[in-house]
Amino acid sequence: MSQPGIPAPGGTITGLQAQNGAASTSGSPYTNGPVPNTLMSSQMSRSQGYSSHLPGSYPHLIPAKTPLNPVLGQSNYGGSQTVSPLSNYQGPGETLNRPPMASSMVTSSLHSGPASRMPPPASQSPAATPMPSGSFLPGVNLPPPPPPPSNWQNNYPSTGSQINHSPLVTSQSTVSGNTNLTNHQYIFSGDPSLQTSYIKSGSAPPLVTPPLPSTFQPGTPIGPPPTGGPPPQTSSHSVVPQPPFNSPVSQAGGTSDTNNGSMVAHNSYDEIEGGGFLATPQLTNKNPKMGRSVGYSYPSLPPGYQNTTPANPVGTPPSGMPPSSLSYPRGPQTFPQPPLGANHLTASMSGLNLHPEGLRVINLLQERNMLPSTPLQPPVPNLHEDIQKLNCSPELFRCTLTGIPQTQALLNKAKLPLGLLLHPFKDLVQLPVVTSSTIVRCRSCRTYINPFVSFLDQRRWKCNLCYRVNDVPEEFMYNPLTRVYGEPHRRPEVQNATIEFMAPSEYMLRPPQPPVYLFVFDVSHNAVETGYLNSVCQSLLDNLDSLPGNTRTKIGFITFDSTIHFYSLQEGLSQPQMLVVSDIEDVFIPMPENLLVNLNESKELVQDLLKTLPQMFNKTLETQSALGPALQAAFKLMSPTGGRMSVFQTQLPTLGVGALKPREEPNQRSSVKEIHLTPSTDFYKKLALDCSGQQVAVDLFLLSGQYSDLASLGCISRYSAGSVYYYPSYHHQHNPVQVQKFQKELQRYLTRKIGFEAVMRIRCTKGLSIHTFHGNFFVRSTDLLSLPNVNPDAGYAVQMSVEESLTDTQLVSFQSALLYTSSKGERRIRVHTLCLPVVSTLNEVFLGADVQAISGLLANMAVDRSVSASLSDARDALVNAVIDSLSAYRSSVLSNQHPGLMVPFSLRLFPLFVLALLKQKSFQTGTNARLDERIFAMCQVKNQPLVYLMLTTHPNLYRVDNLSDEGSLSVNDRTIPQPPILQLSVEKLSRDGAFLMDAGFVMMLWVGKNCGQSFLSQVLGVQNYASIPQTMTDLPELDTPESARIITFISWLREQRPFFPILYIIRDESPIKAIFLQNMVEDRTESALSYYEFLLHIQQQVNK
Ligand SMILES: [Zn+2]
């Protein structure tokens, strides 16, 4: 067939065979030919509804980008929220809640940097340039504005959409400070010599050793205070939030769609976390063109504190002291600070501490099989080991570039995205928790003291983000671990990049809220048909005592069809009392005080209700769904406290506000344009913002076989910091694996850790600026993420730019601070700090690239692009991200122009991962992916931590019919086989084997036709191939070592993640095999290039 826009198959096929190796183990010739090959004897192929849309066939669509502006107020579908001055609530002249901002109203073009390369003219031989345009990245030079929307970073304001919508936050800081915290308690448990073992994670109140007097007396068993005594004003260090800066009330701008007046005072957690600013009058932004910038907007510092250069030339720096520390006056005693700073950047100019392999340049056309056989490890920043060993774990905090370019110009040149990927509330085995009335933070920028600050002497520390010199508070002089006075640098806060603080009352605007759980159930005929209520109610009954909480926990239930049903669970009732409200136009709450009840006091009534609920609607004929009114009612009910709302929906809402109409047209599924990725109403987003304002998060469980417009419904979770769960075609009888998955995930959902009324702020070193956030949240004030709930399974991403030259800086740091209320009612702050070196050459930027983080960030950006422009535009931009960066590498780093496709070792998997993204459900073309499934995949891109995003994008493939204990892991007496990871190509399969594909949310075990008898009988428990059931979703537990090995391996894989992947065992005739083949990223499908073809295409573009 002739396919426009890709390298002609006929032209490349020979090379393809040669490169692929023509023969496989079974002797059939394999090419990555257009039709699934003979090995798989597929029945899919043409019946799958593939269109001939090819990834390369879209260049003509490009010009459409400019006018594709999302509907006002709905542009933020993708869950990213861009911070730009223009998108912040109000026009010039209106009051801002932060003085610095007022002076930094800039145009989008100034803020967002240079424009991207424009698409080549259409006349440029489309066949030869199949994947043009649509870059994610700023171009090299700075062309004059206005920037074309094809630039990633420009797509926000120029679309005319308002990205941030300001809730009305009035700003009375009613600090209601009742807290049980005792002042001056340093907490740790276990062996004090282990620096991370002060306390185990979470829960029980830690040991208090020793309780110090509330006024610390330095005389204890410890050394004397330094001569000269404490600094004159110990009290000058203050953790009290700066009250004035929020005094002007931020008004929602005229464009805000959230201006409904429902926001009330106690939501201003902004100031509680401490903000980044002091509202001092001198807070004028020196350079208004820079716009809002976390790194830039710090208050002006005394000049001497800015980028302190050695004022005291003492010759060569003493060991362990960075040059910047030389200016401190000689203290009374020598001060053994752990080494930090420039001296300890090893080989900083050449990345010489990289493994030699890391310096290789690879010709991917010759060496394209670069996938390691073990899980890909993140690159290690090129830091001195003393610094690196203190650094934040990459599981929690990762940067796309582990060497930060010192200027935006250098970053632009590299054409790689700069951003962070976070998993801030991940379940941790070890988490140091510190309680102390004094949380030491920078007086200027409110950074928490961390391992990467420098101590000028015992009494002063210099902030690693804004360079302000701060006093060490007296209390901080005592090290609770060693019980030694005078060791501020050995305190846990300075020894751990990940730490949690018990927050004193200054961090509260109201008493910590109780855990409140409200369940909202669809009980229409359709819902009852699926049988889901049984599962949910049973799961709740089983886990009622494991819901995170304490004696204050509250619970409530609402059900709805065409009417709304409330349940009075007041203590003392003999049975739950149902109250039906049929007026869905103006919903009121009957007896609000009895609907959300104390779980302990009303437990029996709750259990009664859960036992009867599944049967109560058995006979219902009501098909209508008044979801919107039910959500409004639930919101009203929860407004006074905040909490978690769990909504279960099985169909398109049809009644009242928020009613939706079907808009999926099956024959358009394959088209890359004209698909409905944007919400059809802003009702759900508005309601979500109201919820966010009242500290309510909404989690949506969609269990539906029909189209339910997840693009619209999902907004309720996205902006309220909830999560979306999707179980397509859920049915209690017809779809047992979905039921199993639902039950397992529900259990995790109900029992996992939860944080309430949370906010998160990410700070970075002066000169860097964060401008776009990805994830489920609402950006409250410029850079404060509002998270009514935070859960341990959510990931976030941010994009950054370099706004000021970092030439004088050797190290930069990023710090995320998550302030939340635990289910036990404690206010806590979890802080992660990541430190990275600054690099000055393009080669170093490339050497430090983290290809997984880059791919993950690009995926987030591509979701936004799909929504704000089009899917084809997003796909173009993904491809161009590879072309642009590799072109930059070729032209600016490599000296001799090799004809191949030359890539730095760090990016050896970049083309593969981008190709995998193009084939991922979010961005694929030409398949019959349902719209809701595509939307859900996009939600997952936004909300999943990087590790799972990568697994769903590029699955792991293992051969499992010959598992051995060689190289196995030993965990808790279990021996877990570790088979090598194989490339995703049918070349790697053979008919006499069995192969497990782990695609994150789903696992597929493909059994070859000639698979050995022993595997069939000892693992699958069947006599022969023909007797493998058509649908098999579980492995029998047989009493054989082979069975034990594979079951252990699969369970181990499942244990690693917070969701439950379904396992399908498939043989050749299985319909699931089509999905298995679709995940073979390196192979060609009718609608997508093979990896080799893709590389050829990239090479053509790069070498032009
Ligand atoms: Zn600071």
DSSP state letters, 118-159: PPPPTTS-TTT--S----SS--SS-PPSPPPTTSGGGTTGGG
pLDDT of residue 270: 54
Dist. CA 441 → ligand 1 center (Å): 8
Dist. CA 446 → ligand 1 center (Å): 6
pLDDT of residue 1050: 97
860 vs 852: CA distance, rounded Å: 12
Dist. CA 884 → ligand 1 center (Å): 36
Dist. CA 439 → ligand 1 center (Å): 14
Q: Which two tokens stand for residue 264?
A: 């009330």
Buried b or exposed e, range 905-929, using 16+ CB within 10 angstroms: bbbbbbbbbbbbbbbbbbbbbbbeb
pLDDT of residue 135: 62
Dist. CA 812 → ligand 1 center (Å): 12
pLDDT band, residue 121 (cuts 50/70/90)? very low
- Report DSSP state, residue 915: H
Q: Which of 92-101, 338-347, 713-722, 981-990 has the lowest mean pLDDT?
A: 92-101
pLDDT band, residue 299 (cuts 50/70/90)? very low
Dist. CA 854 → ligand 1 center (Å): 28
Dist. CA 300 → ligand 1 center (Å): 11
pLDDT of residue 364: 95
The residue assigned the tokens 């049980």 is 180
- Beta bridge partners, 831, equal 499, 817
Dist. CA 257 → ligand 1 center (Å): 35
Dist. CA 388 → ligand 1 center (Å): 21
902 vs 943: CA distance, rounded Å: 34
> CB-based contacts of 530: which residues, under 8 Å, 6+ apart?
650, 703, 730, 731, 732
Strand pairing category for 478-479 and 361-363? unpaired
Q: Which of 79-93, 206-220, 1058-1072 has the lowest mean pLDDT?
A: 206-220
Higher pLDDT: 135 or 593? It is 593
**What would the pLDDT profile of 13-32 be if each residue is shown by its tens digit?**
333 333 333 333 333 333 33
941 vs 953: CA distance, rounded Å: 9
C-alpha pair distances (Å), 111 with each of 104, 145, 391? 10, 11, 31
Residue 292 · residue 83 · CB < 8 Å: yes
Cα–Cα–Cα angle for 1021, 1024, 1029, rounded to 5 degrees: 65
pLDDT of residue 438: 87
Dist. CA 473 → ligand 1 center (Å): 15
Protein residues placing their CB within 5 Å of the ion ligand 1: 442, 444-445, 447, 463, 465-466, 468
Dist. CA 999 → ligand 1 center (Å): 43
Dist. CA 277 → ligand 1 center (Å): 10
Q: Which of 99-108, 541-550, 611-620 has the lowest mean pLDDT?
A: 99-108
1003 vs 993: CA distance, rounded Å: 17
Q: Which of 330-334, 753-757, 965-969 has the lowest mean pLDDT?
A: 330-334
> CB-based contacts of 925: which residues, under 8 Å, 6+ apart?
51, 53, 54, 55, 670, 671, 672, 871, 872, 875, 1087, 1088
Dist. CA 763 → ligand 1 center (Å): 9
- Report DSSP state, residue 232: T
Dist. CA 187 → ligand 1 center (Å): 26
Q: What backbone torsions phi and psi does residue 403 show, to the nearest 5 degrees? A: -120, 115
pLDDT of residue 676: 85
Q: Which of 68-82, 943-957, 1038-1052 has the lowest mean pLDDT?
A: 68-82
Question: What sign results for the dihedral spanned by CA atoms 25, 28, 29, 33?
Answer: negative
Dist. CA 415 → ligand 1 center (Å): 30
pLDDT of residue 15: 30
Dist. CA 835 → ligand 1 center (Å): 15
Higher pLDDT: 756 or 160? It is 756
Q: Which of 505-509, 541-545, 557-561 has the lowest mean pLDDT?
A: 505-509
> CB-based contacts of 860: which residues, under 8 Å, 6+ apart?
78, 80, 774, 797, 941, 942
- Beta bridge partners, 787, equal 758
- What number is the average pLDDT over the span 863-867? 95
Checking if the pLDDT of 235 tops 70, the result is no
Dist. CA 1098 → ligand 1 center (Å): 44
Reported in sequence order, the residue ranges of 161-212 that DSSP labels E, i.e. its strands, are 185-187, 208-211
C-alpha pair distances (Å), 304 with each of 50, 310, 330, 1073? 65, 10, 17, 67
Dist. CA 206 → ligand 1 center (Å): 30
Dist. CA 671 → ligand 1 center (Å): 50
pLDDT of residue 318: 33
Which helix (H) or strand (E) segment is 1003 a member of?
strand 1002-1007
Dist. CA 466 → ligand 1 center (Å): 4
C-alpha pair distances (Å), 884 with each of 126, 878, 941? 18, 10, 23
Dist. CA 472 → ligand 1 center (Å): 13
Question: What sign results for the dihedral spanned by CA atoms 294, 295, 299, 300?
Answer: negative
pLDDT of residue 482: 83
Dist. CA 811 → ligand 1 center (Å): 14
Dist. CA 275 → ligand 1 center (Å): 12
Q: Which of 749, 729, 724 is nearest to 739 (CA)?
A: 729
Q: Which of 393, 388, 381 is nearest to 338 (CA)?
A: 388
- What number is the average pLDDT over the span 81-105? 34
Dist. CA 429 → ligand 1 center (Å): 30
- Beta bridge partners, 163, equal none
pLDDT of residue 359: 86
Dist. CA 766 → ligand 1 center (Å): 9
Q: Which of 769, 514, 791, 500 is nearest to 638 (CA)?
A: 514
Checking if the pLDDT of 393 tops 90, the result is yes
Dist. CA 805 → ligand 1 center (Å): 18
The residue assigned the tokens 């006056």 is 329
813 vs 836: CA distance, rounded Å: 6
820 vs 1095: CA distance, rounded Å: 46
Q: Which two tokens stand for residue 160?
A: 């005319």
Higher pLDDT: 583 or 245? It is 583
Checking if the pLDDT of 143 tops 60, the result is no
68 vs 870: CA distance, rounded Å: 8
Checking if the pLDDT of 341 tops 90, the result is no
C-alpha pair distances (Å), 621 with each of 113, 427, 526, 560, 625? 58, 44, 9, 13, 12
Q: Which two tokens stand for residue 767?
A: 């000169």
Dist. CA 442 → ligand 1 center (Å): 5
Dist. CA 815 → ligand 1 center (Å): 11
Dist. CA 486 → ligand 1 center (Å): 22
**What is the overall mean pLDDT for the chain?**
74
Percent of the chain beyond pLDDT 90? Answer: 58
Dist. CA 406 → ligand 1 center (Å): 20
372 vs 1048: CA distance, rounded Å: 23
**Alpha-helix runs per DSSP H in 869-909:** 871-892
Dist. CA 444 → ligand 1 center (Å): 5
pLDDT of residue 674: 57
pLDDT band, residue 781 (cuts 50/70/90)? confident
Dist. CA 1057 → ligand 1 center (Å): 36
pLDDT band, residue 352 (cuts 50/70/90)? very low
Dist. CA 306 → ligand 1 center (Å): 11
Dist. CA 322 → ligand 1 center (Å): 18
- What number is the average pLDDT over the span 871-889? 96
**What would the pLDDT profile of 677-690 be if each residue is shown by its tens digit?**
999 999 999 999 99
152 vs 155: CA distance, rounded Å: 6
Residue 368 · residue 1092 · CB < 8 Å: yes
Higher pLDDT: 300 or 530? It is 530
Dist. CA 858 → ligand 1 center (Å): 30
Higher pLDDT: 924 or 1? It is 924
pLDDT of residue 222: 29
pLDDT band, residue 247 (cuts 50/70/90)? very low
Dist. CA 699 → ligand 1 center (Å): 36
274 vs 784: CA distance, rounded Å: 10
Dist. CA 719 → ligand 1 center (Å): 30
Checking if the pLDDT of 400 tops 70, the result is yes
Higher pLDDT: 345 or 575? It is 575
209 vs 95: CA distance, rounded Å: 49
Higher pLDDT: 896 or 550? It is 550
- What number is the average pLDDT over the span 288-307? 28
Dist. CA 329 → ligand 1 center (Å): 21
- What number is the average pLDDT over the span 106-129? 33
C-alpha pair distances (Å), 859 with each of 171, 426, 723? 37, 21, 18
Question: Do you know the residue count of the chain?
Answer: 1104
Q: Which two tokens stand for residue 382?
A: 């090129």
Dist. CA 299 → ligand 1 center (Å): 9
Dist. CA 448 → ligand 1 center (Å): 8
Checking if the pLDDT of 667 tops 90, the result is no
Dist. CA 100 → ligand 1 center (Å): 16
Checking if the pLDDT of 292 tops 90, the result is no
pLDDT of residue 136: 64
Dist. CA 764 → ligand 1 center (Å): 9
> CB-based contacts of 767: which residues, under 8 Å, 6+ apart?
295, 296, 802, 803, 804, 805, 806, 809, 812
pLDDT band, residue 899 (cuts 50/70/90)? confident
pLDDT of residue 52: 30
pLDDT of residue 363: 94
Percent of the chain beyond pLDDT 70? Answer: 67
Q: Which of 349-358, 367-376, 815-824, 1085-1094 has the lowest mean pLDDT?
A: 349-358
Q: Is 780 left (phi over 0), alpha (psi -120 to 50) or beta?
A: alpha
The SS3 call for residue 235 is helix
Dist. CA 224 → ligand 1 center (Å): 29
